């Protein structure tokens, strides 16, 4: 069997040296992978239980058209999400176009003119800068008279409690906490740490709304931020919770009032959750959610595998090879553009779709340097599928995530190593 697999990798362009190097690293990861499998097992039961408790039936998999009144499948799915997150209610819709939209919706619907938004964990994800109005933008919160304040993390990554307390005032209405590091180098927040921060904030102002940007964090741990006091969690269905099958969508789960506000903003005052046809996507939403715990586990194993390979070769990796994981993103710093480009070529060459395409750096709107992206996905732009990207600027880091199966994530990383070795950027 081992020989058969080796031969197959050879046919797929993996040399014997790369294969042997990877196998040796994998031997050392068995214990960590077993731990990830335990988390997936727990979360798989959590999802199945939520589906059973809410009596998901065959009829739920069908969709509605037009107004979408009495859409049983949609309403049941929202109840399933609420159960999984131990929340009062949820909004899960194909009309929410992406993660940024879900976050913008949660913010715009729960804030009013004169309110202040606080980020106690530093700068939020790039696309939120325009939502908030940090960078001037049409329709931003700022245009509606909603102010913003930010407290950065301390040098060592810990919360700056003193300045968070100072930043909170009578106007502070909503606190946004980003779980994942996104494209920064700070550590990702564990659910436990998020809970500590929320306790501190509620201790100062009990009625402030605590929202967590949960992108890339779903099902990585057994707990979610709503289990430790978050009033709202928000995310994208073309990341973890869509399990690779959801073709579009976003969710907001949390306090009934918060979710209701979001629904009235998404559709219309007076209509709220009552309208919004689910069209034909419900089966994929349900099935993707069902698969999400194991898909997330596969992606996590791929990230840990990559960290161990590239750390051993002398590159800086964030998180490092032994750290516990709280999201599925892996950064590798190559220190030169050729490394980022070779890595992305490897990911592209491993894709099931568009594997014959060669990714090149290009100038993208909103970025101040050329960016290279690799993805050959079934769902365009889906980053729960094997994907990588990196801005061509120091420290020349590439960000890697996803893989619908562990086997595919593994192959993708092996391809990156092959490209990196072929380009003479590292020697085994
Ligand atoms: C992906 C992401 C977003 C935005 O989601 P899009 O679907 O790309 O709009 C926001 N926050 C974080 C932390 C993310 O990872």
Rounded to the nearest angstrom, the distance between the alpha carbon of 58 and the centre of ligand 1 is: 32
Residue 184, pLDDT score: 78
Instruction: Specify the ligand 1 atom closest to the Cα of 236.
Output: 7
Please give the Cα distance from 302 to 244 (Å, whole number).
Answer: 16
Helix spans in 85-179 (H) = 99-110, 126-132, 161-167
DSSP type of residue 73: H
Please list, in sequence order, all residues whose beta carbon lies within 8 angstroms of the beta carbon of residue 419, skipping any fewer than 6 positions away.
Answer: 342, 343, 345, 346, 349
Mutate to test the pocket of ligand 1, among 96, 97, 100 (most ligand atoms within 8 A of CB): 100
- Could you give the percent of the chain with pLDDT greater than 90? 96
Residue 366, pLDDT score: 63
Instruction: Specify the ligand 1 atom closest to the Cα of 103.
Output: 10
Instruction: Report the top-level CATH class of 2-43+290-422.
Output: alpha beta
Residue 294, pLDDT score: 98
Rounded to the nearest angstrom, the distance between the alpha carbon of 30 and the centre of ligand 1 is: 31
pLDDT tens for residues 359-385?
A: 999 987 767 789 999 999 999 999 999
Mean pLDDT of the chain: 96
Tell me the C-alpha to C-alpha distance, in Å, between residue 364 and each of 48, 62, 125, 263, 284.
41, 39, 17, 33, 31
Question: CB–CB of 87/253 below 8 Å?
Answer: yes
308 lines ligand 1 (CB under 6 A): no
Rounded to the nearest angstrom, the distance between the alpha carbon of 105 and the centre of ligand 1 is: 13
Token readout for 102 is 């879900």
Residue 409, pLDDT score: 98
Question: CB–CB of 295/148 below 8 Å?
Answer: no
- Could you give the percent of the chain with pLDDT greater than 70? 100
Question: CB–CB of 425/355 below 8 Å?
Answer: no
Residue 367, pLDDT score: 73
Average pLDDT over residues 315-339: 95
**pLDDT of 223 strictly over 90:** yes
Residue 365, pLDDT score: 72
**pLDDT of 60 strictly over 70:** yes
Domain boundaries, the chain: 2-43+290-422, 63-279
215 lines ligand 1 (CB under 6 A): yes
**pLDDT of 133 strictly over 80:** yes
Residue 380, Cβ density class (10 Å: 0-12 exposed, 13-18 middle, ≥19 buried): exposed
pLDDT tens for residues 134-188?
A: 999 999 999 999 999 999 999 999 999 999 999 999 999 999 999 998 777 788 9
Rounded to the nearest angstrom, the distance between the alpha carbon of 57 and the centre of ligand 1 is: 32
Q: Which of 280, 179, 298, 190 is nearest to 243 (CA)?
A: 298
Average pLDDT over residues 340-347: 98
DSSP type of residue 189: P
Residue 73, φ and ψ in degrees, nearest 5: -65, -45
Chain mean position to CA 277: 26
Residue 187, pLDDT score: 86
DSSP element (H, E) containing 257? helix 256-266
pLDDT tens for residues 246-285?
A: 999 999 999 999 999 999 999 999 999 999 999 999 999 9
Q: Domain 63-279: which topology?
A: 3.40.640
């Amino acid at each position: 069997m081992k020989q058969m697999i080796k031969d197959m990798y050879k046919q797929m362009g993996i040399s014997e040296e790369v294969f042997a190097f990877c196998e040796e690293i994998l031997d050392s990861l068995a214990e960590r992978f077993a731990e990830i499998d335990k988390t997936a097992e727990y979360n798989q039961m959590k999802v199945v239980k939520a589906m059973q408790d809410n009596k998901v039936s065959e009829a739920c998999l069908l969709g509605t058209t037009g107004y979408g009144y009495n859409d049983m499948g949609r309403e049941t799915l929202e109840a399933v999400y609420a159960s999984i997150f131990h929340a009062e209610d949820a909004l899960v819709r194909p009309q929410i176009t992406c993660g940024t939209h879900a976050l913008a919706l949660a913010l715009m619907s729960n804030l009013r003119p004169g309110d202040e938004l606080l980020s106690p964990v530093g700068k939020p994800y790039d696309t939120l800068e325009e939502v908030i109005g940090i960078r001037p933008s049409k329709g931003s919160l700022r245009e509606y008279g909603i102010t913003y304040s930010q407290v950065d993390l301390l040098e060592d990554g810990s919360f700056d409690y003193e300045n968070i307390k100072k930043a909170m005032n009578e106007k502070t209405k909503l606190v946004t906490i980003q779980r994942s590091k996104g494209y920064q180098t700070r550590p990702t927040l564990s659910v436990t740490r998020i809970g500590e921060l929320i306790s501190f904030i509620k201790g100062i102002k009990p009625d402030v709304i605590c929202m967590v940007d949960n992108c890339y964090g779903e099902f990585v741990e057994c707990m979610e931020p709503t289990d430790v006091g978050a009033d709202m969690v928000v995310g994208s269905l073309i990341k973890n919770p869509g399990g690779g099958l959801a073709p579009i969508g976003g969710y907001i789960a949390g306090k009934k009032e918060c979710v209701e506000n979001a629904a009235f903003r998404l559709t219309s005052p007076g209509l709220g959750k009552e309208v919004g046809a689910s069209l034909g996507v419900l089966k994929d939403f349900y099935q993707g959610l069902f698969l999400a715990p194991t898909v997330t586990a596969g992606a996590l194993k791929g990230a840990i595998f990559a960290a161990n390979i590239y750390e051993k070769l002398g590159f800086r990796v964030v998180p490092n090879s032994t750290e516990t994981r709280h999201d599925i993103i892996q950064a590798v710093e190559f220190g030169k553009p050729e490394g980022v480009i070779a890595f992305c070529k490897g990911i592209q060459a491993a894709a099931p779709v568009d594997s014959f395409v060669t990714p090149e750096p290009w100038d993208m709107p909103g970025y101040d340097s050329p960016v290279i992206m690799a993805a050959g996905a079934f769902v365009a732009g889906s980053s729960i599928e094997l994907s990588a990207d990196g801005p061509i600027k120091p420290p020349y880091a590439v960000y890697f995530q996803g893989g619908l199966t562990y086997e595919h994530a593994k192959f993708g990383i092996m391809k990156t190593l092959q490209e990196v070795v072929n380009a003479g950027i590292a020697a085994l």
